[in-house]
Chains A and B, each alone.
Chain A
Amino acid sequence: MQNERILTAAEAIREATEIAMDEHPEAYLIGEGVADPGRIFGTTKGLLEKFGAARVIEQPVAENGLTGIAIGSALMNRRPIMTHQRVDFALLALEQLFNTAAKSHYVSNGHHRVPLTVRMIIGRGWGQGPQHSQALEALFAYIPGLKVVMPSTPSEFKGLFLAAVKDDNPVMFLEHRWLHYVKGHVPTGSYAIPLTGPRVARSGGRATVVATSYMVLEALKAADALERIGCPIDVIDLRVLRPLNTESIVESVRRTGHLVTCDTGWMRYGIGAEIVAGVAEKAYDSLKSAPIRLGLPDHPTPSSLILASEFYPGADHIVRAVGKQCALPEAAIEQACEEVIALRKGVPIDKPDPSFSGPF
């Protein structure tokens, strides 16, 4: 396409933050690293220089305390944007997020608002290990009162982030670190993508694949390969995990009869379980095969490349799951799997997939 403005998701979130802080004079950015030389993987670059230290606050290493402080300021009509370079660190702040942020509006019978956005980055690869690469979105999605958003493409990063900051509720904004490198068209100016539900990323009709975050890209890769073997599928980017809107998913499964979920977290008690349950409740009769959940195996993330080699499901797993549900010929499934694996060009699994350079 001509005149397409191509940005990485990291650049998109940086631009979105700048726009949000221009639009909301009461907004401020706070986190460990927002004003240091690394600038949260470059995503807060230039903001200290533009907005000053009063609005771009390098915080002490005190996640729970600073979360409570952000909440207190939000109750006083400020609009904090908080960042965690790894979601694993945000675990220290769960007390404030779950007890205070999530419940203030409800418990005050609607008097209090907590316009707080919390950016949390999910790590992967390069030996990050058990406490630097957890995808804990299901934990946040469990709590009524929080909103939970997982963007996938650069334009979605920008639009969903602008909506998150504008929202008068606590929004957990979970970014997969590998998505930061992904390139795509990002419109100029300000646009908010409403935090109301999923996005249909691909319409194919033979099966329904519901994916979150980074797994949306794996699902699209699988969809391309499946299409080439005559099995076009629907890919639904869940996008907003809470409040959960399953309408478009149910509608899709009613047409396809097959459901595969793939998300970035553990399979047990995960997002996939909630999606499958929701579909079973509403479209049980439409199911032609048992739904398949793809997620992480039931153990912590090992650091070693060798130990982690089978840890993450990818596009080939999605191809096999859909192939099984749709009873595709074995040879065709193998061909599609080989195609998606070849896209990685032999890059070790602890580095981002080079085929994810986009645009998406």
Chain B
Amino acid sequence: MLGIGEVFQPDTAQNLLYEMLRIRLIEEEIADRYPTEIMRCPVHLSIGQEAVPVAVSAVLRPSDQIVTTHRCHAHYLAKGGDLTAMLCELMGRTPGCCGGRGGSMHLFDDKAGVLLSLPIVAASIPVGVGAGLAIQQMGRDDVAVVYLGDASVEEGVFHESANFAALKKLPVVFLCENNLYSVYTNLRDRQPDRPLTDLGRAHGMPSVRVDGNDCADIHASVTKAVDLARSGGGPTFIQADTYRWREHCGPNYDNRLGYRTEEEFESWKLRDPIAALRRSMLELGWIDAAREAQMVEKVNEEIKAAFAFAEAAPYPIPETAGQGIYAE
């Protein structure tokens, strides 16, 4: 595995650290404020899983498309999704990306190339492949990144989508974040003991496994996959192992429920992607405490302003709830 000194320039690494810190702090702020009940919709936080979306997005252009899942905040933010539009959506306000019609599981941002997020497990996978088909039909050299979780490969539609993407050599990257749990159920209780990468290989595409908490490892594999897709070489399957720190849905920790051990949780906390990148950057002299404090301050200002904006934003008019069912 390559170190960050071999993969990144200092400014790229600094950007990655900044983006991960930003997502972490935004998610923590959502968690802190959630009990006030100002965000009246389910939230699936990405804390602990920041490395994948940040490293992937560093490879992508705005015109590249992503599709994502119920756990979409980090993917959306890392791809350049508008923070205030996201917070307004969580609060059911008019400037929300969906105008309050979707909530936290339907984030999208056309300008940033966040095509859509869908709450039903695996439902966004074919939509992302369809974006790849459209890109191919239009003769563009963009790519579509399909974020999926470890459980979604249990759904038939994953296999249908992977089969078609490989058959037509579509410009798609299947980015499978394996966080080991579907709600409370461990991977070993849901799937036989076989590498997830075998699934990509079975559909005839290159398949790699990366450390999903290591920006350099993710970035290197995604770069290769995106280059292949842009040049007409078809899709790649990437398994990125990572870990969700908080409960499946909501702001809290839930280890007390006993579905995972404290030891397992602590072992993954030691693999915190932000701490890992920070350590490597300190060794290389690419970051120091003062510089990081500046980053945190900048993010906190952005968060403060975004929450203030969202909290002051108007609610939609109730009478509009029945409008816009059909496009004119």
Contacting pair A95 B101 (CB below 8 A): no
Contacting pair B131 A76 (CB below 8 A): yes
Contacting pair A243 B125 (CB below 8 A): no
Partner of B131, one of A59, A73, A96: A73
Contacting pair B130 A72 (CB below 8 A): yes
B149 CB-CB contact with A under 8 Å: no
Cα separation A215 to B253 with both chains bound (whole Å): 59
Contacting pair B102 A108 (CB below 8 A): yes
Give A106-134 interface residues, CB cut-off 8 Å to B: 106-113
The chain A residue with its CB closest to the CB of B96 is: A109
Cα separation A50 to B99 with both chains bound (whole Å): 43
Partner of A54, one of B123, B137, B163, B325: B137
B106 CB-CB contact with A under 8 Å: yes
Cα separation A107 to B120 with both chains bound (whole Å): 14
The chain B residue with its CB closest to the CB of A147 is: B326
A168 CB-CB contact with B under 8 Å: yes
Cα separation A74 to B135 with both chains bound (whole Å): 11
Cα separation A4 to B110 with both chains bound (whole Å): 49
Per-position 1/0 for B156-194, Cβ under 8 A of A: 110111011001000000000000000000000000000
Per-position 1/0 for A224-242, Cβ under 8 A of B: 0000000000000000000
Partner of A112, one of B116, B128, B160: B116
Contacting pair B133 A73 (CB below 8 A): yes
A264 CB-CB contact with B under 8 Å: no
A105 CB-CB contact with B under 8 Å: yes
Cα separation A112 to B101 with both chains bound (whole Å): 13
A67 touching B123 in the complex, CB below 8 Å, given contacts A62-B164, A112-B116? no
Per-position 1/0 for B113-136, Cβ under 8 A of A: 001101010010111111111110
- B-chain residues with CB within 8 Å of residue A73 when the two chains form the complex: 130-131, 133-134, 137
A95 touching B120 in the complex, CB below 8 Å, given contacts A62-B163, A108-B108, A168-B327? yes
Give B80-114 interface residues, CB cut-off 8 Å to A: 97-102, 106, 108, 110
A107 touching B101 in the complex, CB below 8 Å, given contacts A64-B156, A68-B157, A71-B127? yes
A38 CB-CB contact with B under 8 Å: no
Per-position 1/0 for A43-80, Cβ under 8 A of B: 00000000000100001101011111111111111100
Partner of A96, one of B99, B126, B163, B326: B126
Distance to closest chain B CB from A354 (angstroms): 40
Contacting pair B324 A110 (CB below 8 A): yes
- A-chain residues with CB within 8 Å of residue B131 when the two chains form the complex: 72-73, 75-76
Distance to closest chain B CB from A76 (angstroms): 3
B65 CB-CB contact with A under 8 Å: yes
The size bracket of the interface on B is 35 or more
B153 CB-CB contact with A under 8 Å: no
- B-chain residues with CB within 8 Å of residue A66 when the two chains form the complex: 126, 160, 164
Distance to closest chain B CB from A99 (angstroms): 6
Contacting pair B67 A72 (CB below 8 A): yes
- A-chain residues with CB within 8 Å of residue B325 when the two chains form the complex: 105-106, 144-145
A301 CB-CB contact with B under 8 Å: no
- A-chain residues with CB within 8 Å of residue B123 when the two chains form the complex: 68, 95-96, 99-100
Distance to closest chain B CB from A27 (angstroms): 11
Give A164-190 interface residues, CB cut-off 8 Å to B: 167-169
A69 touching B126 in the complex, CB below 8 Å, given contacts A78-B134, A107-B102? yes
Cα separation A71 to B157 with both chains bound (whole Å): 14
- B-chain residues with CB within 8 Å of residue A169 when the two chains form the complex: 326-327
Distance to closest chain A CB from B10 (angstroms): 36
- B-chain residues with CB within 8 Å of residue A72 when the two chains form the complex: 67, 115, 126-134, 144
The chain B residue with its CB closest to the CB of A168 is: B327
Give B268-294 interface residues, CB cut-off 8 Å to A: none
Contacting pair A109 B101 (CB below 8 A): yes
Contacting pair B129 A69 (CB below 8 A): yes
Contacting pair B118 A99 (CB below 8 A): yes
Q: Could you write out 24 A-B pairs with CB less than 8 Å apart?
A: A60-B164, A64-B156, A65-B160, A66-B126, A69-B129, A71-B126, A71-B130, A72-B129, A72-B130, A72-B133, A75-B115, A75-B116, A75-B134, A77-B134, A96-B123, A99-B118, A100-B118, A106-B324, A107-B98, A108-B97, A108-B98, A109-B100, A110-B324, A169-B326
Chain A residues near B (Cβ < 8 Å): 28, 54, 59-60, 62, 64-78, 95-96, 99-100, 104-113, 144-145, 147, 167-169, 243
Chain B residues near A (Cβ < 8 Å): 65, 67, 97-102, 106, 108, 110, 115-116, 118, 120, 123, 125-135, 137-138, 144, 156-157, 159-161, 163-164, 167, 324-328
Can you list the 8 inter-chain pairs with the closest CB atoms, starting with the nearest?
A72-B130, A65-B160, A68-B126, A109-B99, A76-B134, A62-B160, A72-B127, A69-B130
